[in-house]
Amino acid sequence: MQIKKRVAITGRPGVGKTVLIERVIESLPLSVGGFISKELLVCGHRVGFSLIDVANGREGVLAHIHQRVGPKIGRYTVNLDTLHDIGIAAIRTAIHSKDLVVIDEFAPMELTSPEFIPAIESALASDRSLLIATHATLDHPLVHRIRQELELFRVKLSNRDRLVDEVMAYFNESAGGRSLD
C-alpha cells in the first residue's frame, strides 16, 4: 500500500510555483491528474491565464484582459466555463483515477466559482496524494487548512530550484518515512 503524500506550495505570483510543479510531476513515477495554470503572454506582457489538464493536455483560457463576460479579478475577467470544464473536471477525474492530484493554483480567480471549494474539499477527503499551489497572501479558511495539514514549501526566487529536489525527496520517502495521513 502506497502512503499518500500531501504537499502545499505557496509563493508570490511569478516566483515559479508552476515551473516547480511541472518539474516535480515530470519526474514522479505516478499517474498524475488535475490542472496547472500558465500565464498567457503577448509581446512579453501578461494578458491572461490558461488552465491545462495535466492528464490529457486539454487547455482553455481561465482569464483574460479582453474577456467580456464573467467575474472580474483585478484587470482580468474569469472564464467560468474553462474553470468548470477543465479545472474542476480535472480535479474530480483525478480523485477517482490517478495517484497524484495536482491543483495549480488555489487563488482568487478560482474562488469565483462556487464549485471550486467543494472540489478542493473532495480532494482533501480522498485517499490520493496531493500537490496544491496556493497564492501566498490569500486569506481563506480552506487555504489556511491546506497550509496547516499538508507539508508546506514556500517558494522564493532564491530557493525555487533547490525546492524541486526537496519536494521530490518528500514524495520519494520510503513507506517507513513521515506520512501526513
Q: In the prediction, which pLDDT does 178 show? A: 36
Every domain of the chain and the residues it spans: 6-172
pTM: 0.91
pLDDT digits (tens, 9 = 90+) for 53-86: 999 999 999 999 999 999 999 999 999 999 999 9
Q: What is the mean pLDDT of the chain?
A: 92
Q: Give the integer Cα–Cα distance in Å for 51 and 171.
A: 24
Burial of 11 (C-beta count, 10 Å sphere; 0-12/13-18/19+): buried
**Per-residue buried b or exposed e for 49-80, using 16+ beta carbons within 10 Å of the residue's own CB:** bbbbbbbeeeebbbbbeebeebbebeebbbbb
pLDDT band at 2 (very low <50, low <70, confident <90, very high): low
Measured distance between the N- and C-terminal CA atoms of the chain, rounded to whole angstroms: 13
pLDDT of 10 strictly over 60: yes
Helix (H) or strand (E) holding 27: helix 17-27
pLDDT digits (tens, 9 = 90+) for 20-55: 999 999 999 889 999 999 999 999 999 999 999 999
pLDDT digits (tens, 9 = 90+) for 95-115: 999 999 999 999 999 999 999
Pick the CATH number of 6-172 from 3.10.20.880, 3.40.50.300, 3.30.565.10, 3.10.50.40: 3.40.50.300
CB 156 within 8 A of CB 136: no
pLDDT band at 1 (very low <50, low <70, confident <90, very high): very low
Q: In the prediction, which pLDDT does 61 show? A: 97
